[in-house]
Amino acid sequence: MAHLLDENRLRYLFEAIRLGSVRAAADLLSVNPSVVSRQIAQLEKDLGVSLIERLSRGVRATEAGDLLVQRFRQWSADAEDTISKLREIQGLQRGHIDIVMGEGFVSDLMSGPLNRFWQRHPRLTMSLELAGTNDVVRAVAEDRCHIGLVYNARTDPQIRTSVSTRQPIRLIARPDHPLARKGTSVQLRDIAGHPLGLMYPSYGTRQVVAMAEASERIGLSPKLTTSSISVLRHFVKADMGVTLLPAFSITADIADGSLVAIPINHSLLTSTEAQVITRLGRELPTAVSQLLRFLSAQMRAFRETSSPHSR
């Protein structure tokens, strides 16, 4: 049966389903749409099962088609990882690493850990993709990225958590804000009376804040919602309001005294974690494994927080 799974036909199927269109797949692969349609039809004939549903505006996978797409992703990832290992055996010390992460990790990663890793492995290249919590998990599960740096991700059977460190959500404010001047921790209800900026619901911080709201039976009404931590930082610095983030995401601002991170008395908000994730069962190239260990040891996000610079 395995000989029926022609790699080229599987790629046509994969791209058509991923893009939702035979024409889009053909454009990507630089072939005529009829070629993509014929190859998928031949694969369906060989296997004796329908792989796509043809809709008025594109295509979508059947259960069998979805199974093949998942397997193709895994095969492609395994092939890339095997090539990386062969290069390592040959002593080339080359390779490429794909990382996906939440924006809150950027400042931490760029403040020194990445440069120190490159000093040790100068011939490695990397791509860095920014995404919300749900999309980070999806990119790793689908083998589009080797490593994910994510905040408070939900359990997923396809994901292995390599490192997990508690990083509480804090109230982020200017030092002269009334809640900061109190010099103590705050309650969630204290925050409700102040203008608030929050991340979109697909982000880990917003998801856990929503659970905390429900447990307290209160509703926080954000004045600003965004997909950008940078926007929230400027929102707070401009004295337009406060926000809720882990302290490691504003390390530089805490260090220069422009912002403070105030503890919040709520068990859900103090139990949140920063995580390094990979796909369960994926055998990572040596370079990726080395980077994973290096970042876990070097990044502030993966050290237990004692918040020496926060309030």
Instruction: Give the model's pLDDT for residue 1.
Output: 47
Instruction: Give the model's pLDDT for residue 232.
Output: 97
Share of the chain above pLDDT 90, in %: 47
Instruction: Give the model's pLDDT for residue 157.
Output: 93
Q: What is the pLDDT of residues 180-210, one digit of tens each?
A: 998 889 999 999 989 999 999 888 899 899 9
Q: Sorting pLDDT into bands at 50, 70 and 90, what band is 86?
A: low
User: Lowest mean pLDDT: which of 37-41, 101-105, 193-197?
Assistant: 37-41
Asked if the model's pLDDT at residue 309 lies above 50, the reply is no
Q: Sorting pLDDT into bands at 50, 70 and 90, what band is 121?
A: confident
Asked if the model's pLDDT at residue 212 lies above 80, the reply is yes
CB within 8 A of 289, min separation 6: which ones? none
Asked if the model's pLDDT at residue 223 lies above 90, the reply is yes
Instruction: Give the model's pLDDT for residue 78.
Output: 75
Instruction: Give the model's pLDDT for residue 4.
Output: 64
Instruction: Give the model's pLDDT for residue 308.
Output: 37
Instruction: Give the model's pLDDT for residue 301.
Output: 92
Mean pLDDT of the chain: 87
CB of 227 within 8 A of CB of 156? no
Domains of the chain: residue spans and CATH: 2-69 (1.10.10.10), 73-160+277-302 (3.40.190.10), 169-270 (3.40.190.10)
Q: Sorting pLDDT into bands at 50, 70 and 90, what band is 177?
A: very high
Mean pLDDT of 37-46: 87
Mean pLDDT of 230-234: 96
> How do beta strands 95-101 and 147-151 pair?
parallel
Asked if the model's pLDDT at residue 171 lies above 60, the reply is yes
Instruction: Give the model's pLDDT for residue 307.
Output: 43
Q: Sorting pLDDT into bands at 50, 70 and 90, what band is 87?
A: low
Mean pLDDT of 8-32: 87
Q: For residues 94 and 161, which has the higher predicted lDDT (pLDDT)?
A: 161
Mean pLDDT of 57-77: 85
CB of 303 within 8 A of CB of 164? no
Mean pLDDT of 5-26: 86
Q: Rounded to whole angstroms, how far apart are CA atoms 279 and 276?
A: 11
Query: CA triplet 141, 157, 214: central angle to 5 degrees?
Result: 100
